Amino acid sequence: MTLETSFQRHTLPLEFPFTISRGTATETDVVTVRIEDDEGTVGVGGAGPSAHYGETADTVEAVLPDLLAVVEAVDDPHQLDRIERQMRETVERNPAARCAVSIALHDLVTKRLEVPLYEYWGLDPDDTIETSYTIGIDDTETMKEKTELALERGYTTLKVKLGTDRDLEIVETIRSVAPAEDVRLYVDANEAWTPREAVRKIDELAAYDLEFVEQPVPAEDPEGLEFVYERAALPIAADESCITVEDVPQIAGRCDVANLKLMKCGGLREAKRIIHTARAHGLQVMCGCMNESNASIAAACHLAPLLDYADLDGSLLLDDDPYDGVPMAGGRIALEDLEPAGTGVALE
C-alpha cells in the first residue's frame, strides 16, 4: 500500500466576535490533513490549534511534514497505535498537529472498512447527547440577544463565558430569557477567578440553577481548585487543568467533571484513554473543543455515547465552514443520521 499525504491551511471567520476572559477572536486558523490510499480513499482530519497551549497554525504546518513522514513510513493506516506512538516520539508537543493526523487516519480506516467511526468503536449511536452552544463575553444586552438567537435556532443547552466584574448580572439577564425549565445552563470562567472569589461568586450563581462551573481558577493552582471544589455550591469542571491522561489522577478529588479536548490531548486514542481513566476515578466526562471546523469536530462527535456533556460547537460558531460533519440540528449530536462511513466529514 502507498499512502499519499498533504495538508492545507484555512482562515475561517467567526459568526460573531468571540470573547473569553483571555481575549477576543474574530477568526480562526485551522489546518486540514488529507491521507489517501492507493485505491483513492481519502481520510480527512483537522487541527484547531490554541496559542494558550503554545500552538499556532504556523507551528502545526512546521511539524506536519515530520508527522506525515511517520504515516508514510509505516504505510498501513490500520496500525493506529504504532503510528500515534511514533508521532509522539517524533514530535513531543504540538497535540493539535498530531490530532489532525490521528483523525485523518481514523477517517480513512473506517472508510476502508465501510463503517462509521462510532460503529468501529462499538458504540450505540442512539445513546447520544446535545452539545452546548457558547455565548461569549460581550456587553450584557448583546449577550442577551445572542442567547435569544441561540434559542431561536433550537439550542437548549447553553454555555456562558464569565470572568468579568458583572458575572452575576450576565447570568441573571440570560436566565431572564432562558428559564431553567427550558434551558440547561453552565458557565465557564476560563481561569479568571481567585479561589476565594470563585467560592463567593459560585454561591451567588447557585440561585440560577446551573449545571456546573468550568475552570474557575488558574490551572497552575491545583490547591486553589481543590479549595473551590470543597466549598463551592455547584459542581466544578476542570478544563485547562486536564490536558492529557496523566492529569486525570491530579484533578480527581478536585473537581466533578473532567473536560477533555482533542486539540489538547493529541489524538482520538488518547481521548478515549482520558475518558476511561476519568470514569475509573469517579469523574463525569465532557468533551470540549477550540474554534474548529468540522474536519475535527466531526470525529469528536463520535465520542458522544461515552460522555456526560458535550461542548462541540466549534463549527457552529463559524460564519462559514468548508466542511460538513455530523448533523447537530438544535445541538443534538445525531450520529444515527450519519450516512457515510468514516467520521462524516466532507467538503460542502
pLDDT tens digit string along 69-85?
999 999 999 999 999 99
CB 268 within 8 A of CB 283: no
> Coil, strand, or helix at residue 22?
coil
The rounded distance, in Å, linking the Cα atoms of 302 and 344 is 10
How many CA atoms lie less than 13 Å away from 74 in the CB half-sphere?
20
Cβ-in-10-Å burial (0-12, 13-18, 19+) of 304 comes to buried
How many other C-beta atoms lie within 10 A of the C-beta of residue 320? 11
Across-strand partners of 7?
33
What does the pLDDT read at residue 283? 98
What's the alpha-carbon Rg for the chain, to the nearest Å?
A: 19
What does the pLDDT read at residue 7? 98
Q: Which three cell numbers stand for residue 217?
A: 481558577
Cβ-in-10-Å burial (0-12, 13-18, 19+) of 57 comes to buried
How many helices and strands (H and E) does the chain possess?
12, 13
Q: Which domains does the chain have, with CATH numbers?
A: 4-114 (3.30.390.10), 119-347 (3.20.20.120)
What is the H or E stretch that residue 47 is in?
Answer: strand 42-47
What is the H or E stretch that residue 62 is in?
Answer: helix 57-74
- Cα–Cα distances (Å) from 189 to 164, 194, 238, 239, in that order, read 9, 11, 11, 10
The rounded distance, in Å, linking the Cα atoms of 285 and 307 is 5
Helix axes 268-280, 80-90, angle to 10 degrees: 100
How many other C-beta atoms lie within 10 A of the C-beta of residue 145? 14
**C-alpha 328 chain-centroid distance:** 15
Across-strand partners of 6?
34
> Coil, strand, or helix at residue 36?
strand
Per-residue pLDDT of the chain (348 residues; tens, 9 = 90+): 799 999 999 999 999 999 998 899 999 999 999 999 999 999 999 999 999 999 999 999 999 999 999 999 999 999 999 999 999 999 988 999 999 999 999 999 999 999 999 999 999 999 999 999 999 999 999 999 999 999 999 999 999 999 999 999 999 999 999 999 999 999 999 999 999 999 999 999 999 999 999 999 999 999 999 999 999 999 999 999 999 999 999 999 999 999 999 999 999 999 999 999 999 999 999 999 999 999 999 999 999 999 999 999 999 999 999 999 999 999 999 999 998 899 999 986
- What does residue 231 show for φ and ψ, rounded to 5 degrees? -120, -10
What does the pLDDT read at residue 348? 65
Between strands 346-347 and 184-188, the pairing is: unpaired
Q: Please list, in sequence order, all residues whose beta carbon lies within 8 angstroms of the beta carbon of residue 338, skipping any fewer than 6 positions away.
A: 116, 125, 326, 327, 344
- What does residue 200 show for φ and ψ, rounded to 5 degrees? -65, -45
- What does residue 239 show for φ and ψ, rounded to 5 degrees? -115, -75
Q: Which three cell numbers stand for residue 265?
A: 490531548
Q: Which three cell numbers stand for residue 124?
A: 450505540
Scanning the structure block, which residue is given the C-alpha cell 473569553?
20
What does the pLDDT read at residue 340? 82
Enter the DSSP assignment of 59: H
